[in-house]
Structure 1
């Protein structure tokens, strides 16, 4: 059984519609796929309606959190999307995403770049507007050659000239919100050095004490030595070790199934959930 527990659609910053994501997942030989758009569950219905025979859809989300002033991402699975406390937080995050993106566009224009909010809004088909949409708009405007060039100190990397802070959850609170909604949480790519998502063992230990269910170990941006360390850490803390592609469609080379989760690990996560 091939299981990928981290993927994105154009409900957030992926490039493919949810229906296309699930069809491609089956074409890639996957049996189980989690749709984990950033801070929104709006792609679930379309993905479910288009679900091909032989593919199980795991309802999920990637929550925007902040730890010591740095961005931390938390994957939530199998929760009740109508839980009032979690729904209220998602609405607040998505509203602030729009304000933040508009602010970054304004800063880019102040720096002389011909990028407009209309360009970004056209690329962001869902409610979860993010920096990748701004990066794609910069490419379309001919300002940069690739989206990676946007994520530098010159432009919209954290602390960059056009960067704007945004509202994000405390990760311990995120874990507790998802658990209260009947779901389980997995820490996303905690050693993704290229993206700056690197958190030490003490942070992970604290999250484990708060109810974290697992760690994303096998990820395209994790080096072999980091995978080995995280696998040992997960075992020592009694956490599930998962593997996922973190596919964003064309932006990441359509890599669904590039990393997968062991069926026993998936079963352990599912056993810990009671929401959806």
Structure 2
């Protein structure tokens, strides 16, 4: 069975503990998974212990939040990096701190129209998590402002909303270099998911590839069919890895564990490219 290379726990914006995410992968018969919480590796140890216990492989990873020079959000999956590498560590810590400040400012704006407070939001996060829009969305659900997290993002928390506040994130080209310096393998997450908002143009892909981009996440529910064909051609021309995954968030999103997967042979190529960490194998 293959791997699901993009999953989240409540260490970032998922709804389950890292161990529970690992068990979810085992329950659908996957060989393994990658835990890729946003801008943190805090769930690695718990996930690794559970992976050994239930007999699945774990690819330790992280999803780095980036913003292009034109203000477009880019998500970069980093696999098997050294979690203590100073350059990448300093950058994600800067992003995490900015996210917290941004979330506080958004909650201040929301309290004018909705019965939520910072304490309400904190009730919907784990102690290790960096507070972000998903936690604010869960707070809005809890007070009956919206029915689901997705509804909150579609209306109240959209970037076009009066409540929205931007936050610091590294340029994706710089992030690719930092992941490489940390011994990791950088893969562009859901790169043509226009339903999420604007996507970067081909010139940014080329710059990221020149900086060391190793792969593209082609098989993701948010990539349209024509976008997948374009990505496959890009990968063929540049020798990039092609991955697939669910972007699992527990009950935070409808995405099902293993709905898109990556073959074992691609995961082995990924492991061969990494020098920062190793796959946890049963």
Equivalent-residue separation in structure 1 for 2:32 and 2:75 (angstroms): 21
Q: Post-superposition shift, 1:197?
A: 5.3
Which moves more between the two structures, 42-51 or 57-66?
A: 42-51
Retained in 2: the 8 A contact 1:94–1:127? Answer: no
Equivalent-residue separation in structure 2 for 1:7 and 1:39 (angstroms): 13
Retained in 2: the 8 A contact 1:124–1:133? Answer: yes
Equivalent-residue separation in structure 2 for 1:193 and 1:86 (angstroms): 28
User: Counterpart of 2:280?
Assistant: none
Which moves more between the two structures, 121-130 or 63-72?
A: 121-130
Q: Deviations over 1:208-236 (max 9, x none)?
A: 01100000000011222221221111111
What secondary structure sits across from 1:156 in the alignment? coil
What are the residue-to-residue correspondences of 1:36-75 with 2, within 5 Å? 36-51=36-51, 52-67=53-68, 68-75=70-77
User: Counterpart of 1:133?
Assistant: 135
Structure 1: 5+ residue runs without aligned partners?
A: none
Which moves more between the two structures, 12-21 or 251-260?
A: 251-260
User: Counterpart of 2:178?
Assistant: 177
Retained in 2: the 8 A contact 1:218–1:242? Answer: yes
Equivalent-residue separation in structure 2 for 1:158 and 1:114 (angstroms): 21
Retained in 1: the 8 A contact 2:73–2:199? Answer: no
Equivalent-residue separation in structure 2 for 1:178 and 1:260 (angstroms): 23
Equivalent-residue separation in structure 1 for 2:129 and 2:20 (angstroms): 18
User: Counterpart of 2:145?
Assistant: 143
Q: Post-superposition shift, 1:199?
A: 2.5
What are the residue-to-residue correspondences of 1:2-17 with 2, within 5 Å? 2-17=2-17
What are the residue-to-residue correspondences of 1:169-248 with 2, within 5 Å? 169-196=170-197, 198-248=199-249
Equivalent-residue separation in structure 2 for 1:146 and 1:8 (angstroms): 18
1:166 and 2:167 correspond: yes
Equivalent-residue separation in structure 1 for 2:44 and 2:136 (angstroms): 24
Query: 1:101 pairs with 82, 100, 103, which one?
Result: 103
Q: Deviations over 1:111-130 (max 9, x none)?
A: x1111111111212133211
Equivalent-residue separation in structure 2 for 1:129 and 1:118 (angstroms): 12
What secondary structure sits across from 2:223 in the alignment? coil
Equivalent-residue separation in structure 2 for 1:254 and 1:206 (angstroms): 30
Point out 4+ residue stretches in structure 1 off by more than 6 angstroms: none
Identify if the C-alpha distance between structure 1 residues 19 and 197 changes in structure 2 by more than 3 Å, giving closer, same or farther: farther
Equivalent-residue separation in structure 2 for 1:190 and 1:86 (angstroms): 21
Structure 2: 5+ residue runs without aligned partners?
A: 278-282
TM-score, length basis structure 1: 0.95
Q: Post-superposition shift, 1:89?
A: 1.5
Retained in 2: the 8 A contact 1:80–1:181? Answer: yes
Number of aligned residues: 274
Retained in 2: the 8 A contact 1:190–1:197? Answer: no
Retained in 2: the 8 A contact 1:189–1:197? Answer: no
Higher relative contact order structure (alpha carbons within 8 Å, sequence separation ≥ 6): 2
What secondary structure sits across from 1:50 in the alignment? helix
Q: Post-superposition shift, 1:181?
A: 0.8
Q: Post-superposition shift, 1:253?
A: 2.9
The two structures, once aligned, show a CA RMSD in angstroms of: 1.3
Q: Post-superposition shift, 1:133?
A: 0.8
Which moves more between the two structures, 11-20 or 234-243?
A: 234-243
Retained in 2: the 8 A contact 1:7–1:37? Answer: yes
Q: Post-superposition shift, 1:98?
A: 1.0
